[in-house]
Amino acid sequence: MSAPKKLFVKTWGCQMNVYDSERMAEAMGASGYEATESADDADMILLNTCHIREKASEKMYSELGRLKEHKLARPDVKIGVAGCVAQAEGAEIIRRQPMVDVVVGPQAYHRLPDMVARSSNGAKVVDTEFPEEDKFTRLPRGPKARRAPAAFLTVQEGCDKFCAFCVVPYTRGAEVSRPVARIIAEARDLVERGVVELTLLGQNVNAYHGAGPDGEAWSLAQLVRELARLDGLERIRYTTSHPNDMSDDLYAAHAELDKLMPYLHLPVQSGSDRILKAMNRRHTAETYMRVIERMRAARPDMALSGDFIVGFPGESDEDFADTMALVKEVGYGSAFSFKYSARPGTPAAGRELVPDDVAHERLLTLQAQITADQFAFQTSMIGRTLPVLVEKSGRKAGQVIGKSPYLHAVHFEAPATSIGQIVPVRIVASEKNSLTGRAE
Ligand code: 5AD
Ligand code: SF4
């Protein structure tokens, strides 16, 4: 048998891309490729790209620029572009960078091994279709390798919301939910391979409505309840949610299920009703606050994370002040904030921009508040005993790194044999990006 070929995958963007990269690597594994950590010795380089903001797309072209010499030195090395830039730009990528062999959109991943084989005689292969078949079931499974304790699992993909700034409805397509039985089978497989914590992924994950075994459409709460019955699966998270898709049964699930982590990513984007309307968010700041109230009523230890865009076209100082007021009112455990980036093909693309220096200043102001809140939340953990899922060995001997219910990295002393266990840890200190504790 010939030596396995080596595949290097570089991933940008959201957790769904991380999941997709794993699945593509598994699919290529079935075609004789094994993963490598460095591009230098790779026989194939796959860039899994993000198109959400302009900077994210540019990163792919700079990376291709860097890979040029590598390809000149070894023309047999395959270069593939996957993900949302692949979907949005298609064959244009090969026109700009002719050294690219394969361009595959997020809905056609199961065809990747075949596409790579077809490109063997120097042909260029592009597939950005949205095929009918379920790419997840069609992806060939690799060998049953042991997995890290925390894993992602895509349950829903695409978005029908059409926020005026967002490319997702175009790059990932319409909302599609995977059937319950397939998700449970995949979850069971992951648990057998050592997974203890699952994060269910979807662009609008709380709009999940996959076909259940009874023929009815199941809600996310029903799916979570079913997953919570799996022995060995100890923690369940889901992301990303939309405020308009919160439902009574999801609040109830949070109240009843200990396995459902008390941490929710719930983007609002802006605290100004005028801007929310211009963004086509179809909710107000108040309805958003009401969702949080209900979540906290169901689960008093619930913490929030969010996403914000500053400098959306038309945003005035007053609108921005509304955003700051909302941020202070919620007190986020963590939040992501971005300067608006006009994306071709989206409704807001042609609108007049807020001057860049104004947007930049607002971003700094918002980020200072978010960082202060994040720090205060992290510091409030000192003196508490938290259940920590041990994920890997630390840099120092005898030390491990785990994750709190709120996704804080926690360092403490414990044997490497504790990896995969949930250990009660008393938090003694808070560093910049992590907590330190002692196993109880
Ligand atoms: N400009 C800036 N930020 C954006 N996001 C999505 N589209 C844009 C854009 N055009 C942000 C939103 C979203 C997160 C994933 O990225 O905050 O929730
Ligand atoms: Fe984009 Fe809005 Fe859909 Fe989120 S809900 S993916 S921001 S269009």
List strand residue ranges (DSSP E) for 128-207, in order: 150-154, 156-157, 176-177, 197-201
- Which residue's CA is the closest to the ligand 2 atom numbered 2? 163
The answer, yes or no, to whether residue 2 has pLDDT greater than 80, is: no
Split at pLDDT 50, 70, 90, the class of 190 is very high
CB of 287 within 6 A of ligand 1: the answer is: no
By percentage, how much of the chain surpasses pLDDT 70?
A: 97
CB of 282 within 6 A of ligand 2: the answer is: no
* Whole-Å CA distances, 317 to 65, 178, 351: 40, 43, 18
CB of 242 within 6 A of ligand 2: the answer is: yes
Closest CA to 77 of 48, 49, 109, 101: 101
DSSP secondary structure letters along 288-351: HHHHHHHHHHH-TT-EEEEEEEES-TT--HHHHHHHHHHHHHH--SEEEEEE----TTSGGGGS
Start-to-end C-alpha separation, the chain: 51
Q: What tokens were used for 336? A: 């992501």
Residue type, 29: G
Cα 255 from Cα 221, distance rounded (Å): 11
Cα 310 from Cα 335, distance rounded (Å): 13
Instruction: Count the alpha carbons within 13 Å of 86 in the hemisphere toward its beta carbon.
Output: 30
Q: Which ligand is nearest to the CA of 336?
A: 1
Dihedrals phi, psi of 392, to nearest 5 degrees: -165, 170
Split at pLDDT 50, 70, 90, the class of 137 is low
Picking from 37-51, 137-151, 225-239, which range would have the lowest pLDDT averaged per residue? 137-151
Domains, the chain, in order of start with CATH, read 5-135 (3.40.50.12160), 146-379 (3.80.30.20), 385-439 (2.40.50.140)
CB of 162 within 6 A of ligand 2: the answer is: yes
Q: Write the CB contacts of 226 (distance below 8 Å, at least 6 apart in sequence).
A: 180, 184, 218
The predicted structure's pLDDT at residue 139: 56
| Distance from residue 280's CA to the centre of ligand 2 (Å) | 10
CB of 338 within 6 A of ligand 2: the answer is: no
Q: What is the CA radius of gyration of the chain?
A: 22
The answer, yes or no, to whether residue 120 has pLDDT greater than 90, is: no
CB of 309 within 6 A of ligand 1: the answer is: yes
The predicted structure's pLDDT at residue 129: 86
C-alpha angle 170-326-427 in degrees, rounded to nearest 5: 95
Cα 213 from Cα 165, distance rounded (Å): 37
Q: Which ligand is nearest to the CA of 164?
A: 2
Cα 390 from Cα 287, distance rounded (Å): 37
The answer, yes or no, to whether residue 104 has pLDDT greater than 60, is: yes
Q: Write the CB contacts of 236 (distance below 8 Å, at least 6 apart in sequence).
A: 197, 198, 199, 200, 224, 227, 228, 257, 259, 260, 261
Q: 157-169: per-residue pLDDT in tens?
A: 999 999 999 999 9
The answer, yes or no, to whether residue 133 has pLDDT greater than 70, is: no
Total count of residues recorded for the chain = 440
Torsion of CA 212, 215, 217, 221, to 10 degrees: -40
Cα 207 from Cα 159, distance rounded (Å): 9
Cα 77 from Cα 44, distance rounded (Å): 5
